[in-house]
Amino acid sequence: MDVKIKETRSKFIKVRCPKCKNEQIIFGKSDSIVKCLVCDKVLSEPTGGKGKIKARILEVLG
């Protein structure tokens, strides 16, 4: 019996905070505001689909 696992289209994204340069990994389709863990600056806002990223994207992680 073959079992197929559906691959998600959502990704984790490694970003750098524009204010304090902290690097952190966030979810690309978050449904809440994501803030920097160091300086509390908003890094991503929900838009109903993909999050609006307000930081420099360093890497997209599978």
For the chain, domain boundaries: 12-61
**Which residues have CB under 8 Å from 56's CB, separation 6+?**
15, 16, 18
Q: Is the model more confident about 36 or about 2?
A: 36
pLDDT of residue 51: 79
61: phi then psi, degrees, rounded to nearest 5: -100, 135
Report the alpha-carbon distance of residue 7 to residue 44 in Å, rounded: 23
Report the alpha-carbon distance of residue 51 to residue 32 in Å, rounded: 9
**What average pLDDT does range 52-61 have in this prediction?**
92
Report the alpha-carbon distance of residue 23 to residue 44 in Å, rounded: 13
According to DSSP, the residues that pair with 21 across neighbouring strands are none
Q: For domain 12-61, give the CATH superfamily.
A: Ribosomal protein S27 (2.20.25.100)
pLDDT of residue 47: 85
Res. 49: pLDDT tops 70: yes
pLDDT of residue 44: 92
